[in-house]
């Protein structure tokens, strides 16, 4: 539990500082955010492509990994080449993913709260933040494209605070 609470503190501090940096300098933040995501998808795609080669040598079925690696490499290249247009689609995708994740975590808490007995308060806060910012990120590009980076920055700040509180609760319980 001690290592988990320490990692919660570190993740919380990093997310909070990253979010505050995005609030202070949103245009710079949004450009770097898209570049980081494009590199992330390129690296994941190349890693999956290398896994395809290993699976092929072992005689395993590698079709899904090949398909995923091609999609991830194409998505990374598209993000890198057209950062502004890709940013809007990426934010809607992230918002949808965050919203679904928040709803699933909330349903898990409501119907199976005894599974995560010690982490109940941590996960309910995270679920509510995910639902609220998921809806915000899905609807934000419709209203104003300039506020996209601010929405992501505030999400990082709140998630950072949530991780710090969760780390404190875990440390207090252990």
pLDDT digits (tens, 9 = 90+) for 103-120: 887 887 777 655 445 555
pTM equals 0.56
DSSP 109-164: HHH-TTTTSTTHHHHHHHHHHHHHHHHHHHHHHHH-GGGHHHHHHHHHHHHHHHHH
CA separation, residue 156 to residues 12, 63, 147 (Å): 9, 35, 14
More confident residue, 74 or 83: 74
pLDDT band at 79 (very low <50, low <70, confident <90, very high): confident
pLDDT digits (tens, 9 = 90+) for 14-55: 878 888 888 888 777 777 777 777 887 788 888 888 888 887
Cα separation, 57 vs 25, in Å, equals 48
Residues 62-67, mean pLDDT to the nearest whole number:
77
pLDDT digits (tens, 9 = 90+) for 134-155: 888 888 776 666 677 777 788 8
Q: How much of the chain is helix, strand and coil, in % rounded to 5?
A: 90, 0, 10
Q: Look at residue 116 in the predicted model and tell me its pLDDT.
A: 47
């Amino acid at each position: 539990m001690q290592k988990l609470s320490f990692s919660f503190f570190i993740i919380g501090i990093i997310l909070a500082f990253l979010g505050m940096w995005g609030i202070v300098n949103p245009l710079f933040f949004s450009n770097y955010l898209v570049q980081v995501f494009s590199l992330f998808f390129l690296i994941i795609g190349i890693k999956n492509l290398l896994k395809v080669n290993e699976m092929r040598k072992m005689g395993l079925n590698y079709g899904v990994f090949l398909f995923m690696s091609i999609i991830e490499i194409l998505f990374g290249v598209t993000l890198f080449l057209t950062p502004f247009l890709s940013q809007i689609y990426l934010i809607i995708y992230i918002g949808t993913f965050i919203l679904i994740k928040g709803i699933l975590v909330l349903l898990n808490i409501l119907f199976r709260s005894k599974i995560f007995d010690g982490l109940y308060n941590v996960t309910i806060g995270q679920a509510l933040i995910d639902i609220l910012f998921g809806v915000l990120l899905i609807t934000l590009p419709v209203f104003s494209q300039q506020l996209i980076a601010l929405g992501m920055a505030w999400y990082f700040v709140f998630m950072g605070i949530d991780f710090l509180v969760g780390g404190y609760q875990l440390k207090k319980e252990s």
